[in-house]
Structures are given as C-alpha cells and as structure tokens.
Amino acid sequence: MNLDPNTSLALMQATQSDSAAKANAAKASANKSLSQSDEKMHAQLDVVAKDFESMFMTEMIKPMFEEVNKPNAMFGGGKGEEIFNGFMMQEYGKLISDTGGIGIADAVKQELIRMQETADNPRSAVGGTL
C-alpha cells in the first residue's frame, strides 16, 4: 500500500474525527442525567477545558516551528510574518484540540468539576469536619 502525504493526512483526519465522534457520543450519554444548570455548567467547562488544551498545544508546537519554519532572507521575515506565524500556531493548536487533542481537555474538565464540587461542599473535602 503506497500512501502519499495527502492520503496519509486524510486518513489521519478521518481517524481523529471518528475518535472525536465516539468521545462526543460517550459524553452525551453521560450528560443526559444532568439537570439544566449542570448541563450549562458542563458546557462552559467543556469550552474552558478545550481552550486550555488549545493554548497548551499552541505553546508546545511553537518551538518546533521556530526551528522548522525559518524565513527566507530574500523574500520572507519581518513583523508581518511573525504576527501571521503566531496566528497560524493558535489555529493549529485549536485544530489539534478540536480533532481529539491529547486528552488534556478531559483531565482539566474533571479537575474543574472536582474543584467546583469541593467549593460547593467544603465539608466533604475535609472529611466532614470543619
């Protein structure tokens, strides 16, 4: 089987979107039992967790592109290219996060939920005594 770069990229994107769809279906079934306010809070936590993962991925790929994407001295460089590269890195981070990411968003969401529950029930966090 001979895969060219375009075929490999399409295969990777299809796999990631399939994984993301399965994860979203699992999340949807778990969230069915939540009340409206809990659903709204969980939706906000999803957004915050995804934003965090996007930002994290952006920071992780910046050093890679600093070495790989050096501008051509004759036709590249300058402030415009620096700004564009920053925006491009942000979009790459969002794309990675939106297509399944590396699992940071789920861990961040679970930790935020745990922190919220602790704030709502301080006695349970300290073993029932205050």
Domain ranges of the chain: 43-120
Residue 101 half-sphere exposure toward CB, CA atoms < 13 A: 23
Separation in Å, CA 101 to CA 16, 35, 49, 55, 105: 9, 28, 11, 11, 8
CA distance 53 to 113: 16
pLDDT in tens, 38-95: 788 888 889 999 999 999 999 998 888 887 767 677 777 777 787 888 898 999 999 9
Q: For residue range 11-21, list pLDDT tens digits in order.
A: 566 666 666 66
Higher pLDDT, 7 or 66: 66
Task: Compute the average pLDDT of residues 102-115.
Answer: 89
